[in-house]
Chain A
Amino acid sequence: MSWLFGLTEEDEDEIRVLMDQFGVRDFFLNIEGFNLSQRTRTGLMNLQKLILAIESHQTEDADQREGILYE
């Protein structure tokens, strides 16, 4: 993610540890709770909004499907 908002190596290491600990989804859902620099937090919050929008888009797609099962 460093290309998105110029993360430092320290930031990247910290994010890696947190993602391992919480999983990628819970990491993004709880960014507000982590001790990260303001710049990193702002960048990650933008990704969080994007992820939430994508997930609601995916859910909507799934809701419109017939719900068949493979045999």
Chain B
Amino acid sequence: MSRNIRYSDDFYKSIHMLTGLPIRRIQEYGRENNPFNILEHPMVLEPNEKQLQKINKLNEFISSYNLLRIEEEQNKIKFSGPQESGRYFTSLLGGVKDKERFIIAFLDNNNGIIETRTHSEGGLGSTVVYPREILKMAMANDCAKMILCHNHPSGNLVSSKEDKALTQRLVDIFRPLDIIIVDHIIVGGPHFISMAEEACLPVDTLDKANYDAIELVDQVVKEDLTHENILSYGSM
């Protein structure tokens, strides 16, 4: 049975980069066979000694990864409040000053992280959020709650009208599905603010669900990029 539909060229390329096996042979094999045979039964592609060594090491890595993951499942990171989630997201985004990034932590009923995903990455002062994609991730994780987070590359620690509007749009989508957005953390350099802590987190639906993409703009960067500021070297 042909299985090539399920495995992207990126996947084949990653096996090629990690093992040194010729990419064409990997692709040809994967077209008609389960490409994981390349790792599980390495002789199918007749690797040389060096390639075989790499495949064996890669298998060791995969086993360790699987074991660690199972162990982590049993000791999930839990958020009891904004201080913990703020520290967690600040570690993820505190050093990011050249682009705006939007991250979501999908939580179970006990506020344990099921998965944290980088949803989008934009330029210096903006990024685009796609509600449909977030919905797909939330369904795949079967989550009960979510914490949203994005950074302001300018370091500005004020939640803007746009930040609140974006959160409201997502509440409008997820509240009817019984998925609660418990917080929206905004990271600026080594600091953060929590919209839940600041009591400006939308909780109830205001409008019907709208799945159009949403542009999220760091207002300080936007203002600094105005013509007058550029001419006068602004505050950037």
The interface of chain A, by Cβ under 8 A from chain B, is 1, 3-4, 21-26, 28-30, 32-33, 35, 42-43, 45-47, 49-51, 53-54, 56-57
Instruction: Establish whether residues B57 and A4, one from each chain, have CB atoms under 8 Å apart when the complex forms.
Output: yes
Instruction: Select the residue from A1, A30, A43, A45 with max chain B CB neighbours within 10 A.
Output: A30
B222 at interface by CB-CB < 8 Å: no
CA distance A57 to B38 in the complex (A): 14
Residues of A within 8 A of B115 (CB): 25-26, 29
Taking a contact as CB atoms under 8 Å apart, the answer to whether B36 and A54 are in contact is yes
**Residues of B contacting A3 with CB < 8 Å?**
54, 57
Distance to closest chain A CB from B108 (angstroms): 15
Return chain B residues, CB-CB under 8 Å to A50.
11, 14-15, 18, 58, 62
Chain B 120-154 near chain A by CB (<8 Å), digits 1 or 0: 01000000000000000000000000000000000
CA distance A29 to B105 in the complex (A): 12
Tell me which residues across on chain B come within 8 A of A25, comparing CB atoms: 69, 72, 115
- Could you tell me the dominant secondary structure of chain B's interface residues? helix
Partner of B118, one of A23, A24, A32, A46: A32
Bound together, the chains give a CA A35 to CA B96 distance in angstroms of: 8
List residues of chain B with CB under 8 Å of any chain A CB.
Answer: 6-7, 10-11, 13-15, 17-18, 36, 54, 57-58, 61-62, 65, 68-69, 72, 77, 91-93, 95-96, 101, 103, 113, 115-118, 121
Q: B67: nearest residue on chain A (CB-CB)?
A: A24
Q: Is B116 in contact with A30, judged by CB distance below 8 angstroms? A: yes
The 8 Å CB contact of B113, one of A24, A26, A43, A46, is A26
B11 close to A29 (CB less than 8 A): no
A45 to chain B: closest residue by CB:
B14
**Complex: chain B residue closest to A28, CB-CB:** B65
A-chain residues with CB within 8 Å of residue B103 when the two chains form the complex: 30, 33
Of all chain A residues, which has the CB nearest B72?
A: A23
Kindly list chain A residues whose C-beta atoms are within 8 Å of the C-beta of B118.
29-30, 32-33
Distance in Å from the Cβ of A32 to the closest Cβ of chain B?
Answer: 6
Docked-complex contact B69 and A32, CB < 8 angstroms: no
Q: Which residues of A contact B36 (CB under 8 A)?
A: 54, 57
Asked if A32 contacts B116 (CB within 8 A), the reply is no
How far is A12 from B116 in the complex, measured between Cα atoms in Å? 22
Closest B residue to A48 by CB, please name it: B14
Which of A24, A49, A54 is in CB contact (< 8 Å) with B68? A24
B92 close to A22 (CB less than 8 A)? yes
Q: In the bound complex, what is the Cα–Cα distance between A58 and B13 (angstroms)?
A: 20
| Given A4-B54, A29-B115, A33-B103, 7 further pairs, Cβ under 8 A | A4-B58, A22-B91, A23-B72, A25-B69, A29-B117, A49-B14, A53-B7
